[in-house]
Amino acid sequence: MSLNFRLSASELGTLDTDCLVAAIFDDGSLSSAAQALDTASDGALARRVKQGDANGRVGKTTLLHDVAGITASRVLLVGAGSAGEMDPQRYLKIVNAAAKAIAQSTINRVHSSLSQLKVSGRDAAWALQQAALAADHAAYRYTATRKDKHKNEPGPREYSFSAEAGLQPALDRAAGIAVGIRAAKDLANLPPNICNPAFMAEQAQAFAAAHPGIRCEVLEREQMESLGMGSLLAVARGSANPPKLVVLEYRNGGDAKPLVLVGKGLTFDSGGLNLKVQGGIEEMKFDMCGAATVYGSFVAAVEAKLPVNLVALLAGVENMPDGAAYRPSDVLTSMSGTTIEVLNTDAEGRLVLCDALTYAQRFEPAALIDVATLTGACVIALGKHAHGLMTKHDDLAAELLAAGETSGDRAWRLPIWDDYQPMLDSAFADVANIGGKSAGAITAGCFLSRFTEGQRWAHLDIAGTSWDEGRKGMANGRPVNLLTQWMIDRTS
Ligand code: BES
Ligand code: MN
Ligand code: ZN
């Protein structure tokens, strides 16, 4: 369940809520909401700032209790930096810091005035949407396999925002996107002994059954055999969990050609016979974040009722070593007919995606985008902030980069020039599944480009961006926000 969102135009001083959120600037001045509260409290806020109890450093939060003259039991002051122009990235820092402080408290009902801050180049609907998504992101709790279900950490349930009633559609849309982001996080965070390819397929089928007009088809191993998906099937062979290729269809865009999203859904990537022995294997339940976020973007589009035609393909496979497992030096025949020499069974994502991308072409995509935790090299290149974007289409790159900027869920482009293609040469097949030591994210993209010729195709490598690092690191739902924004931009 996502948070309960509402708009409220009521006066702040007399609002019945557990916490009011307002901004202060680093010159000691107050946002207009904070000013209203200051007036209602006979200058209590300004005195706190003057005493140095609260300051305007970006993202600094100060929780005040029992402010005289104000009905709400608490006021959360959030530093907003300079009182001048505010760029979108700063605004996102502010709403995220506030949301985090709230989520770590015992506060239940919140009213935020932050959505009223003026952000350069962005409108009020944007500010509202981002504030709502930040709130829902921080309030997310993983509960599925915890007996305690966070019983001692209640967290917020209701959020209202200062905004005029005309912004209700923007808030409804944000709520829909929040549901999609939660769906992606929940699926990705589940352990691989629960979330295997069959489980992913069941989730998709249950969603389709609960939403009229959604079509869901699950391709089984036998169907994939008839289609000649020799590459995907080779990866699946070493696992006791059979592969599933999930097809979800949502038609709400008239007779337009569909947008097709393809997600890498390795519910666990052990590396196969090239077993992951250098560390990091325990994080490889997240190797289905591509499929999880494609699913989440699909859920978001449906929940937000976006006027698009959308096809989501989730390529669910587990990469394991056993007696039937595919081997380094095997030569596979992909659905496209291209033969592939396996030089490393741990470069399995591209082997799964190439067949899913070939299959995707029967939907005649207006645009085809795959999303994958594809390479460690992308993590080295771009770290945790930017998704790696690869495409030969400058216009599609521009659309996706812009959607990243707008949503704050940013990508950065890497080249997939043909100059890199010889790195994939093989003596025994049409192509090898690995390049050399260098440019690992790019050669993976180049590999995929061989299976998407003639398509308006882009590849997002989300290996570094889709879950937070560390032992308690969780899936964060990226790039659902980017992809949803891209769909919105294409229809408005
Ligand atoms: N799923 C991994 C990529 C990955 C690594 C994602 C670390 C997130 C964090 C992928 O299947 C993989 O193992 N790639 C290899 C490719 C190599 C063998 C060419 C890699 O990046 O090391
Ligand atoms: Mn791998
Ligand atoms: Zn992988």
Q: What is the pLDDT of residues 373-412, one digit of tens each?
A: 999 999 999 999 999 999 999 999 999 999 999 999 999 9
Mean pLDDT of 125-154: 95
pLDDT confidence tier of residue 492, bands split at 50, 70 and 90: confident
Strands (E), 147-219: 158-162, 215-219
pLDDT confidence tier of residue 153, bands split at 50, 70 and 90: confident
Q: Is 346 in the pocket of ligand 1 (CB under 6 A)?
A: yes
- The per-residue pLDDT for range 284-297, each reduced to its tens digit, is 999 999 999 999 99
Instruction: Name the percent of the chain lying above pLDDT 90.
Output: 97
**Ligand 3 being an ion, which residues bring their Cβ within 5 A of it?**
266, 269, 287, 349
More confident residue, 225 or 152: 225
pLDDT confidence tier of residue 154, bands split at 50, 70 and 90: confident
Strands (E), 138-219: 158-162, 215-219
**Is the pLDDT assigned to residue 155 strictly greater than 90?**
no
Choose, from 350, 392, 450, 478, the residue flagged as catalytic: 350
Find residue 317's DSSP bridge partners. 266
Buried b (16+ CB within 10 A) or exposed e, 266-291: bbbbbbbbbebeeeeeebbbbbbbbb
Angle made by CA atoms 315, 487, 111, in degrees to the nearest 5: 105
Q: Is 384 in the pocket of ligand 1 (CB under 6 A)?
A: no
Number of continuous H segments (helices) and E segments (strands) in the chain:
14, 17
- The per-residue pLDDT for range 330-346, each reduced to its tens digit, is 999 999 999 999 999 99
User: Known catalytic residue: 93?
Assistant: no
Nearest to 231 by CA among 348, 114, 116: 348
pLDDT confidence tier of residue 218, bands split at 50, 70 and 90: very high
Site to substitute for ligand 1 among 283, 317, 354, 375, most atoms within 8 A of C-beta = 375
3-state helix, strand, coil in the chain (%, to 5): 40, 20, 40
461 marked as part of a ligand binding site: no
- The per-residue pLDDT for range 85-114, each reduced to its tens digit, is 999 999 999 999 999 999 999 999 999 999
Domain 178-491 has CATH 3.40.630.10: yes
Q: How far apart are the first and last CA of the chain?
A: 28
User: Known catalytic residue: 276?
Assistant: yes
Nearest-angstrom CA–CA distance, 98 and 159? 12
**Is the pLDDT assigned to residue 152 strictly greater than 90?**
no
Mean pLDDT estimate for the chain? 97
**Is the pLDDT assigned to residue 313 strictly greater than 90?**
yes
For 15, the token pair is 């609002």
**Is the pLDDT assigned to residue 299 strictly greater than 90?**
yes
- For the chain, domain boundaries: 4-157, 178-491
4-157 and 178-491 share one CATH topology? no
Choose, from 57, 276, 384, 490, the residue flagged as catalytic: 276
The per-residue pLDDT for 281 is 98
Q: What are phi and psi of 349, to 5 degrees?
A: -60, -45
Q: Which ligand is nearest to the CA of 378?
A: 1
Ligand 2: distance of its center to the CA of 225 in Å? 23
3-state secondary structure of 217: strand
Nearest-angstrom CA–CA distance, 475 and 264? 15
346 marked as part of a ligand binding site: yes
Ligand 3: distance of its center to the CA of 404 in Å? 24
185 marked as part of a ligand binding site: no
Site to substitute for ligand 1 among 281, 319, 346, 371, most atoms within 8 A of C-beta = 346
pLDDT confidence tier of residue 260, bands split at 50, 70 and 90: very high
Ligand 2: distance of its center to the CA of 344 in Å? 9
Angle made by CA atoms 312, 316, 320, in degrees to the nearest 5: 160
The per-residue pLDDT for 312 is 99
The per-residue pLDDT for 2 is 84
pLDDT confidence tier of residue 130, bands split at 50, 70 and 90: very high
Write the single-letter amino acid at 394: D
**Is the pLDDT assigned to residue 1 strictly greater than 80?**
no
Nearest to 432 by CA among 353, 351, 335: 351
Ligand 1: distance of its center to the CA of 373 in Å? 8
> What CATH number is given for 4-157 in this structure?
3.40.220.10
